[in-house]
Amino acid sequence: MISIKQKTLSLEHKFQGKGLHTGQVANMVVKPAPEGAGIVFHRVDLGPGAYVHAIATNVSSTARSTTISEGKASVSTIEHLMSALSGMGVDNALIEIDNVEVPILDGSARPYVEAFLKGGFVEQDAAKRYITLPREVEVRDEKTGAYIKAVPSDSPSIDLTVDFGSRILGVQHAVWNESVDYATQLAPCRTFVFFHEIEYLFQNNLVKGGDVDNAIVIVEHPVSDEQVARLASLFNVPKLAINDNGYLNNLQLRFPDECGRHKLLDLVGDLTLAGGRVNARIEAFKPGHSINTKMAQTICEAISE
């Protein structure tokens, strides 16, 4: 059997941008790392020892994004970057960041993936870590009906369904396996929010960095001209309108099912916290960061039994 090797980046990549929820600007450098290092964040603003390992046991919050913490250091909204690294097969990377939240950029993983592809990768000596499940595992949220099930398999795959009870989105279905080109089929898919959630999120100290360039806005319920004008003011743009298809006209969809694909992008990132690529057939219904990271933790517990 051919042994697949671990992989890191050929060179370092610099990113700068505001965080989706904090609105604070962060400077971030994604660097190559030695084999076996995994994905590690370094909060350089907090000093030389402020490292946070991207592992399931370090998950500290899943409120609208995934946050990891170790000691006094935390890093939030890591899922798009984690997804990009996993999608490109990167096992080892050191991420230096000078603020609490990873830059949202355009709301997808594409800016990361484009940079990584341009810079290239280095194959390392150690074998890639594939996680083999000893048994089927499942996590459920009885309140929402959400669940994720993982069945042992020879290769990783994800079959995902999202259902927000939305007349605009409908029920969306997305699939990933090793034959799907992550860079073109998942990485470009941006985060999304419902119009009626936005003011509440602003009032609760979230999406301070949201704007017309980094999020799809779904207009599920009738809204007044005054409400649209107020949102334009929040986003600091002169004017917004609603398209016939029920989306705010701040951007054009990259795929008809872009929102479902984005949920798959998130799940790929969150499951990476299990410590490697999971050799399992994963079925996910109505996933979100809370249940995604619970599955990553459950996988870790199953393989340590």
Show which residues are catalytic: 289
Q: How far apart are alpha carbons 270 and 297 in whole angstroms?
A: 10
Q: How far apart are alpha carbons 64 and 21 in whole angstroms?
A: 9
β-sheet bridge partners, residue 76 = 67, 101
Q: What tokens were used for 271?
A: 């499951």
Owner of token pair 């993936």: 113
What does DSSP say about strands 146-152 and 137-141: parallel, antiparallel, or unpaired?
Answer: antiparallel
Residues 6+ apart with CB under 8 A from 63: 206
Stated length of the chain: 305
Owner of token pair 């941006």: 190
DSSP-derived 3-state class of residue 174: strand
